[in-house]
Amino acid sequence: MTEDKVPPLDENTRRYYLDVMGIQCWELIGSHIEGDATEDDNLNPVQFQAAGAAYQQLEADVQQCTRCQLHTGRKQAITGRGNASAELMFVLLSPDANDDGAGMLCSGEADTLFTKMLAAINIAIDDIYITSLLKCCVPARHTVTTTELHYCAEYLKQQIHLIQPKLLVVTGDTAARCLLQKNTSLDDLRAMVNAEAYSDTASHAYQFESVPLFVSYSPQELLQRPENKRKAWQDLQQLQQIVEAW
């Protein structure tokens, strides 16, 4: 996380955020998350400039990508958004139609909800990085193919290499099943993957590019099925404990 962190919430504000999520009278675990070093602390000027150039090249490659059929229906490819040295990287399945028009991943109502969810555990949305498995909008009733995932996986790997997060939070049923290559429910994946969230990185059974995984609901899914917000809140509490233990 960066030094520019969110101040602790007062009780009324915290309860407001939880109420927006459809959750009432739950108590937060722990205190706010302390910031770590910024880019300037971790990289010397030459390294920081090189990292910036590499990310600009990645952005250009994504924008110009025509490797799979998804590029034919997009308005624009979307690489990601947020803190380029974030410790938490959230991975969605793909931009949706609203994102495709806005040019920003997790936009509109999803952004509003996600911002409030994170604020409920004292994390600023600008302190994380948000990306997706696929960089182009997926049409309605389109089945994601292994070819599409294969080509875009290279971009995700580059992002992980440049940002170097401590944890990948995979959000959404399809994204979790695709990344983990397991045909099971999101709740089963949450139970299976998140149970190891406190283990050392070296012994964590579920990793991608040597980064431990955590699984939860996507903001878009929660807007469609708000009854899952209580389970999403349980995940957020666990996520808060993980980050505070770093």
pLDDT band at 6 (very low <50, low <70, confident <90, very high): very low
CA distance 28 to 20: 15
Quote the pLDDT of residue 17. Answer: 44
pLDDT at residue number 25: 37
Instruction: State what percent of residues in the chain have pLDDT above 90.
Output: 66
d(C-alpha 168, C-alpha 90), whole Å: 6
Higher model confidence: residue 90 or residue 21? 90
Q: What pLDDT sits at residue 56? A: 87
Residue 161's pLDDT band (cuts 50, 70, 90): very high
Neighbours of 149 (CB within 10 A): 17
CATH of 13-23+38-244, one of 3.40.50.800, 2.60.40.10, 3.40.470.10, 3.30.70.2520: 3.40.470.10
pLDDT above 90: residue 29: no
Question: How confident is the model at residue 203, as a pLDDT?
Answer: 66
- Residue 3: per-residue pLDDT: 44
pLDDT tens digits, one per residue of 30-53? 333 333 434 444 555 555 555 678
For the chain, domain boundaries? 13-23+38-244
Which DSSP symbol is given to 87? Answer: S
Three-state secondary structure string covering 176-237: HHHHHCCCCCHHHHHHHHHCCCCCCHHHCCCEECCEEEEEECCHHHHHHCHHHHHHHHHHHH
Residue 9: per-residue pLDDT: 52
Give the model's pLDDT for residue 5. 47
pLDDT digits (tens, 9 = 90+) for 96-138: 999 999 999 999 999 999 999 999 999 999 999 999 999 999 9
Angle at 114 (CA atoms; ends 110, 118), nearest 5 degrees: 175
| pLDDT at residue number 50 | 58
Instruction: Give the model's pLDDT for residue 107.
Output: 95
Average pLDDT across the chain, whole number: 82
- Name the nearest CA neighbour of 94 among 173, 8, 29: 173
Residue 225, both tokens: 């099925």
